[in-house]
Structure 1
Amino acid sequence: MSASISPEKMSQSELRATAGLASVYGLRMFGLFIILPVFAFYAEHLPGGNNYALVGIALGAYGLTQAILQIPMGWLSDRIGRKPVIYFGLILFAIGSLVAAMATDIYWVIFGRIIQGAGAISAAIMALAADLTREEHRTKAMATIGMTIGTVFALSLIVAPALNQWIGVPGIFAMTGLLALAAIFIVKNVIPDPQISRFHSDTEASTESFGSVLRNTQLLRLNYGIFALHATLMALWLIVPLTLREAGKPAEDHWQIYLPVLFFSMLLIIPAIIYGEKKAKLKQVFIAAIALLLCGQIALALTVGSIWGTTLALLIFFVAFNLLEASLPSLISKIAPVGAKGTAIGVYSSTQFLGAFVGAAIGGYLMEHHGSLALYLFCSGLLAIWLTFACTMKAPAAVRSKMYHVDEIDIEKSQRLSLQLAALPGVREALVLGDERVAFLKVDMNGFDEEGVNKLLEVREEEANGISQ
């Protein structure tokens, strides 16, 4: 890295890579989310669309292929390159969108959504972001990319009703296909090519780490949580738009409810996030959010027929939902072993997409055969189980993750440096991976002596340079 590049600030190349990858990630997720508030209306006019079980499968089908293929696509990007995998995934997504746009019945929509999900490029995008950013800025880059999920989710709910009026759901599918092709242009012309592409333990899944991640009961609780959260979300999109319409709110005006609900829900979670992080009360905030989510879900069941009641219930639900969406990745980072963070995130993300499929599919089946009350009971049951798991979890340590660049060193020297770093004040865990040229640390929120870490790494670098000379 050139000496002219400030270690404190992201370089122009890093900023361009982060912004480009965030836009690609966002365009794809926008294409998946945008049909949620309008698909139930569209399905009513499709052959086979009067079967809620099939509608649920169509809504969540992308989640199944996404969950299955996300980690393998990341591994494939290690072998053939990040950009070829991203190109392939975006082309698949565009094909799936075109199939869904031209669908003549619900079965073709299901097929199109399956193909959309097969373009599972999330892991490859994160790996490319790691290739293109320095260790000290990687967390910022990942956070920026991750933030696009919440942004495009909110945007999709607000603009979908208007787009449905203008171009219909087939037009929306066609538009998302074009956006995927536009994303290919961004990947090719905006995002730099990595000079070196290597495996990154903090962003990619490793087969060696699966055992430890899947045996970690604290991580399993969080994985169930994201499963239940997205299963509930997807199941409710089968009923909430119809409920609002039956209460007297025309479908094209639903944005008038979604916009203030999402705005105020985002505003209200800020104090809770600050309190949880600053006061080391993450567990208490986490449990309260799950309880609030359960209350919001029950309120949705009890306010059917009332626009104001449903609006208030949605506000309660999305305050909790957005707070949990923000909290869960932070908890994963705090709990996951330092050398298995990428694996933990990969399992977590795959479970999230699986939850989207299961929630929509089972929710649709229950609505078709047992009515909307059964759907609400199903969602309530998922959340009640999660609340029980959360109450029995260990309070996460008040730590944050740090990464530092190190020169390439052998295993013996890596282990020695790991022990030296772990012995420094405020360091809870330390792992140096010489082949990846990175040191991973978990450090106390307060009392961490970063200057000591920098001095130790500088001494180690000077020693290595002296030996090489």
Structure 2
Amino acid sequence: MNDFTMTRGERRATWALGSVFSLRMLGMFMVLPVLTTYGMSLAGASEALIGLAIGIYGMTQALLQIPFGLLSDRIGRKPLIVGGLLMFAAGSVIAAMSDSIWGVIVGRALQGSGAISAAVMALLSDLTREQNRTKAMAFIGISFGITFAIAMVTGPLITHALGLSGLFWMIALLALAAIALVLWAVPRPEAHLLNRESAMVRGGFRTVLANPRLLKLNLGILCVHTLLMSSFVALPPLLEQAGLPRDSQWQAYLVTMLIAFVSVVPFIVYAEKRRQMKRVFQACVLVMLIAELVLWQAGLQLWGLLAGLQIFFIGFNVMEALLPSLISKESPPGYKGTAMGVYSTSQFIGVAIGGSLGGLLYGMGGAPWVFGGCSALALCWLGVSLTMQEPPYVSSLRILLPEGVEATPELEQKIRACDGVSDVLMAPAERSLYVKVDTKHLSRSDLERLIVA
């Protein structure tokens, strides 16, 4: 059998964990297009409190993302994932049973407390071999984008049929379905593997936070989700005022998402194949700035709002695909998992800021203040992006040392001397080495042959 072909167990683990991740993210995003319209009927609701209800999920996620990831190394991946999903389900039930905005805020905060993303990725690492791990994680990334699109369409449909309470009950059922998958579909790992490519290293946060290139990328994902959440505080009620009923808005989201998905492909191919990631990144920031300006100036003109929505999601979808790749390229060898942990935390900080700030601005001055504030943020982000350097076009590889081969300084020097290798980290305790390499010059199989030569 081809060693790069996924085994049955690897395919099962990838499918099951991808489904768990998707069910949870579906529950998170289905609320986004409906809370600012249907939520205003809750007792005590105001624009600012609706924004807080949207953003508080990100706040608790940001606080617990890294601690939960580190805790999974101690108590095990599956128990932590199940516990996190139970918290998510409990938060959904609290929100479903509440008729006040404060009950929904408490429920959303508890939903966010089930921060399982890092544990899911670590478990996936335990259940897949080195040569197939990139494919497995790519599947998770693709499922994220598809889930977001499905959530934007199904959220309004379910809420129109069952009400906001019914939506939260549905989200609770999705969480229980995810728990069933973890217990009965996800294989049990033979051992917990320390893999710095997918797991966070306790002593690595200082290295990651001190890297100015990574800081700019973390600022990028923070801005992306600040713009998303802020815009969706104002956009659904504005579309309704412009003549698109809340129960028909799913049609606009469906068309928008389909066009945006198709548009992503040429941008990503151009960025990766032509090695123009810096140019595409800056272009996406400019596209998102233009989108916010269009929304700002559209007023109650429906076609103007739909045009701004479409432009925004083209930039958003490309950026969501581009940023994880940039993090992988810029992270030091052996610190990719830590860098991704900080990146995810930055993403949820953006969710928290976007929802809360968007609600405050909407309450103070309506949609023009929200889109004006988003435009100012996007303009500042564009300025920062112009200082960005071209990333190294390298892949992060973890090579396990075969029996009889030791992690010695001589081996490290031999690897460093190879054409295409930009950096190496030896990890003797793991009997492995982490390599940043341009795979157009040197493949994994070349490195493995070199090690035993």
Q: TM-score, normalised by structure 1?
A: 0.94
Choose from 37, 40, 46 the match for 1:41.
Answer: 37
Equivalent residues of 1:67, 1:353 under 8 A apart: yes
Question: 1:392 deviation in Å?
Answer: 0.3
Question: 1:144 deviation in Å?
Answer: 0.9
Bigger shift: residues 394-403 or 113-122: 394-403
> Which residue matches 2:5?
9
Choose from 237, 245, 262 the match for 2:232.
Answer: 237
Equivalent residues of 1:408, 1:435 under 8 A apart: no
Counterparts of 1:403 and 1:151, CA distance in 2: 29
Residues 316 and 142 of structure 1: CA distance in aligned 2, closer, same or farther (over 3 Å): same
> Which residue matches 2:325?
330
Residues 389 and 301 of structure 1: CA distance in aligned 2, closer, same or farther (over 3 Å): same
> Which residue matches 2:215?
220
Choose from 407, 411, 432 the match for 1:413.
Answer: 407
Equivalent residues of 1:406, 1:434 under 8 A apart: no
> Which residue matches 1:152?
147
What code does the residue aligned with 2:258 have? F
Equivalent residues of 2:201, 2:338 under 8 A apart: yes
Alignment of 1:374-389 (within 5 A): 374-389=369-384
> Which residue matches 1:277?
272
Residues 413 and 446 of structure 1: CA distance in aligned 2, closer, same or farther (over 3 Å): closer
Equivalent residues of 1:53, 1:367 under 8 A apart: yes
Counterparts of 1:229 and 1:55, CA distance in 2: 20
| 1:286-343, Cα deviation, whole Å (9 max, x unpaired) | 1011001100111111112122221111111111000000000000011110111111
Equivalent residues of 1:52, 1:364 under 8 A apart: yes
Alignment of 1:280-319 (within 5 A): 280-319=275-314
Give ranges in structure 2 of 5+ residues lacking alignment.
none
What code does the residue aligned with 2:165 have? P
Please state if 1:25 is matched with 2:21.
yes
> Which residue matches 1:463?
none
**3-state DSSP class of the match of 1:239?**
helix
Aligned CA-pair RMSD: 1.6
Equivalent residues of 1:226, 1:355 under 8 A apart: yes
| 1:420-469, Cα deviation, whole Å (9 max, x unpaired) | 2221121112223233343322222532255531212334xxxxxxxxxx
Alignment of 1:365-404 (within 5 A): 365-404=360-399
**3-state DSSP class of the match of 2:44?**
coil
Please state if 1:427 is matched with 2:421.
yes
> Which residue matches 1:263?
258
> Which residue matches 1:93?
88
> Which residue matches 2:432?
438
Question: 1:387 deviation in Å?
Answer: 1.0
Counterparts of 2:443 and 2:343, CA distance in 1: 31
Question: 1:408 deviation in Å?
Answer: 7.2
> Which residue matches 1:141?
136
Give ranges in structure 1 of 5+ residues lacking alignment.
460-469
**3-state DSSP class of the match of 1:44?**
helix
Residues 126 and 171 of structure 1: CA distance in aligned 2, closer, same or farther (over 3 Å): same
Please state if 1:120 is matched with 2:115.
yes
**3-state DSSP class of the match of 2:436?**
strand
| 1:349-388, Cα deviation, whole Å (9 max, x unpaired) | 0010011011110110111123322211221122112111
Question: 1:414 deviation in Å?
Answer: 4.7
Counterparts of 1:184 and 1:406, CA distance in 2: 36
Counterparts of 1:145 and 1:237, CA distance in 2: 25
Counterparts of 1:435 and 1:21, CA distance in 2: 28
> Which residue matches 1:456?
450
Counterparts of 2:16 and 2:377, CA distance in 1: 37
Counterparts of 1:251 and 1:405, CA distance in 2: 54
Number of residues of Structure 1 aligned to a counterpart in Structure 2: 453
Equivalent residues of 2:84, 2:116 under 8 A apart: yes
Residues 158 and 409 of structure 1: CA distance in aligned 2, closer, same or farther (over 3 Å): farther
Counterparts of 1:154 and 1:108, CA distance in 2: 27
Equivalent residues of 1:426, 1:449 under 8 A apart: no
Bigger shift: residues 374-383 or 108-117: 374-383
Counterparts of 2:434 and 2:415, CA distance in 1: 10
Choose from 317, 338, 344 the match for 2:339.
Answer: 344
Bigger shift: residues 421-430 or 233-242: 421-430
Alignment of 1:58-207 (within 5 A): 58-207=53-202
**3-state DSSP class of the match of 1:396?**
coil
**3-state DSSP class of the match of 1:92?**
helix
Write out the 4+ residue segments of structure 1 that deviate beyond 6 Å after TM superposition. none
Question: 1:91 deviation in Å?
Answer: 0.5
Counterparts of 1:10 and 1:366, CA distance in 2: 50
What code does the residue aligned with 1:33 have? F
Q: TM-score, normalised by structure 2?
A: 0.97
What code does the residue aligned with 1:371 have? G
Question: 1:418 deviation in Å?
Answer: 2.7
Question: 1:208 deviation in Å?
Answer: 1.3
